Amino acid sequence: MTRAFEQAMAAFEPALPLVVAYSGGADSTALLLACARQWPGQVMAVHVHHGLQAAGDDFEHHCRAVCADLQVPLRVQKVDARHAPGQSPEAAARHARYNAIDAVALAQIGPAAIQTIAIAQHADDQVETLLLALSRGAGLPGLSAMAAQWRRAGLTWCRPLLEVSSADIRVWLKAQGAMFIEDPSNVDERFTRNRIRARLMPALQACFPQFRDTFARSSRHAAQAQALLQEVAAEDLARIGVPPDIKALQSLSRPRLANLLRHWLLSVHQTTPTSAQMDELTAQLEACRTRGHQLNLKVGHGFCVRRGKVLDWYNPQLL
């Protein structure tokens, strides 16, 4: 069972130097240990102290001891990961964590400048992400689940273990005799992801033993379809212009119109409409046939408005 982990690490060819996001748990311990062995002197670890539980200081002490033993430099970033009203705790922690890792990596300049950041999310995490997306009625971006590689703040982020199961990672760790910590929040079933892990994953394993591979294949299909839609939207927006001409928008089919509008709102204004907002916006655009027809509709965290011949968007809080 260690072959899947070893094959994944053999296929991982990051630009060096490399940062490993290290929580002290089983998955990030395996990734850090494998990377430190494979690229000695080229690996740094970053541990994010979220300040959300009493055991956080113990996690930090464990990580410092492990990194000292591996002779891997460690940076500890303390963040305020409390969630805002209406924001999920998981999303708040993830946002704080990524920003903290960015800050450490971008602070390394000169010959030691960090090129790649590796995080230890695995095949089980990918399935949980897909199931969460399905439960929320997500579109193709959500069904694409997690990417194996992406760019953020000028750095390459990688998930080299995305096709390796949690069980395989732990078998490999046991064979190395490596120590890791168990985060008690990972079994707290108040969190939806933990309920999926505890209740749905065993049922899926019993009914569909290959579900990790087949779910991952579906996510790849969704990602390919989404990439094609993005290409079409970018071409349409380049042809129609920014801000988009209303008459030109009306020449598109409704699915193509919605695809273009989502792309415009996200790429230009960094906002995402709900399904209900998009349905209302496309309906109002179709009805906008006379010079006096006004349009002022809540979309994302701002408003879409008609300004003469074009559709515009603004956030009143930024005015």
- Please tell me the predicted confidence (pLDDT) of residue 169: 96
Which residue reads 């290290």 in tokens? 22
Distances in whole angstroms, Cα of residue 120 to Cα of each of 32, 42, 216, 249: 9, 18, 16, 43
The strand pairing partners of 158, in sequence order, are 118, 149
At 180, which helix (H) or strand (E)? Answer: none
Q: Report how far apart, in Å, the C-alpha atoms of 102 and of each of 19, 40, 96, 277 are.
A: 10, 22, 10, 33
Domain 241-318: CATH architecture, name and number where available: 2-Layer Sandwich (3.30)
Q: What is the pLDDT, as a whole number, of residue 97?
A: 82
The predicted pLDDT at position 267 comes to 95
Taking alpha carbons only, the member of 217, 211, 255 closest to residue 236 is 255
pLDDT value of residue 79:
75
What are the φ/ψ torsions at residue 269 (nearest 5 degrees)? -115, 0
Annotated domain spans of the chain: 3-214, 241-318
- 21, 28 contact by CB (below 8 A): yes
For residue 210, give the amino acid letter: Q
Instruction: Write down the number of H helices and E strands in the chain.
Output: 13, 9
Per-residue pLDDT tens listing for the chain (319 residues)? 578 999 999 999 999 999 999 999 999 999 999 999 999 999 999 998 876 666 678 889 999 999 999 999 999 988 776 656 655 666 667 777 888 888 888 887 666 789 999 999 999 999 999 999 999 999 999 999 999 999 888 889 999 999 999 999 999 999 999 999 988 888 888 888 999 999 999 999 999 999 999 999 999 999 999 999 999 999 999 999 999 999 999 999 999 999 999 999 999 999 999 999 999 999 999 999 888 888 999 999 999 999 999 999 999 887 6
Separation between Cα atoms, residue 151 and residue 176, nearest integer Å: 32
Please name which of 33, 305, 9 lies closest in space to residue 173, comparing C-alpha atoms: 33
Q: Roughly what angle, to the nearest 10 degrees, separates helices 166-176 and 3-11?
A: 90
Please state which of the four CATH numbers 3.40.50.360, 3.40.640.10, 3.90.1150.10, 3.40.50.620 is assigned to the domain occupying 3-214.
3.40.50.620
